[in-house]
């Protein structure tokens, strides 16, 4: 029963809280807004949908929600750490995306999360046996992701709502296409960002372990 309880606790903490609230819900808001305002016949089909098809649908919601977060981070609208303590200049954010000129890894050792991960390594050492402190931190992460991603997704859905009153079909198509392009580009940027974050995180962990030998 203990293993089953731990599995349920893990799913609740890692999947339901973070993924459903932080990514799936914001992504669903945008996808449903597009379908409702522009493709309502797809939102209310006259035929039944097999339940297995809902699995990739939730994957689409998650992907869109994560793209929203990447888009917000790139623009500087979303920041998951105090920007005065961990500044992230626009030039560094653009270098990661820019395919022309400087290579996108040039700032990998000076970008803000190098300093942040060092602080987090100290946090994990101090709270190694304090499960409550780790749970509180996880909950705060979920809350700030949910608020930030939810805000942006509702804002984008509001744009779709405003455009839906336009009588020109080409304008509607253009707005949806631009948003889709920006979110797709944000995913590509997010991929590069997480390559650099993984590099920094693993480098700091290895360095910390070597210091403790």
Residues 5, 11, 16: CA angle, nearest 5 degrees: 135
Name 173's Cβ contacts closer than 8 Å, sequence gap at least 6. none
Domain containing 85 equals 2-211
pLDDT at 24 > cutoff 90: yes
CA separation (Å) from 29 to 22, 62, 72, 79, 197?
A: 12, 11, 16, 21, 28
More confident residue, 109 or 184: 184
Which pLDDT band holds residue 213 (cuts at 50, 70, 90)? low
Q: Examine the pLDDT at 46 and tell me if it is beyond 80.
A: no
> Mean pLDDT throughout 37-50?
70
**Higher per-residue pLDDT: 154 or 132:** 154
What total number of domains does the chain contain?
Answer: 1
pTM of the entire structure? 0.84
| Banded pLDDT at 183 (limits 50, 70, 90) | very high
For the chain, give the percent of residues with pLDDT over 70.
85
CA distance 68 to 169: 25
């Amino acid at each position: 029963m203990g293993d089953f309880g731990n599995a349920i606790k893990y799913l609740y903490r890692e999947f339901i809280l973070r993924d459903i609230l932080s990514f799936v819900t914001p992504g669903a808001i945008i996808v449903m807004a597009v379908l409702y305002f522009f493709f309502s016949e797809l939102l209310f089909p006259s035929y039944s949908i097999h339940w297995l098809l809902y699995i990739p649908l939730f994957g689409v919601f998650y992907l869109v929600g994560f793209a929203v977060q990447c888009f917000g981070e790139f623009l500087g609208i979303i920041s998951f750490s105090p920007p005065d303590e961990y500044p992230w200049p626009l030039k560094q954010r653009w270098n990661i995306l820019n395919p022309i000129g400087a290579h996108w890894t040039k700032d990998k050792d000076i970008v803000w999360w190098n300093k942040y991960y060092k602080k987090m390594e100290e946090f994990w050492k101090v709270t190694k046996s304090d499960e409550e402190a780790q749970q509180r931190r996880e909950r705060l992460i979920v809350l700030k992701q949910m608020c930030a991603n939810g805000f942006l997704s509702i804002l984008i859905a509001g744009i779709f709502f405003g455009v839906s009153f336009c009588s020109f079909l080409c304008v509607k198509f253009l707005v949806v296409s631009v948003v889709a392009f920006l979110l797709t580009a944000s995913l590509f940027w997010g991929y590069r960002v997480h390559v650099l974050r993984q590099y920094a995180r693993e480098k700091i962990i290895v360095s910390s372990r070597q210091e403790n030998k």
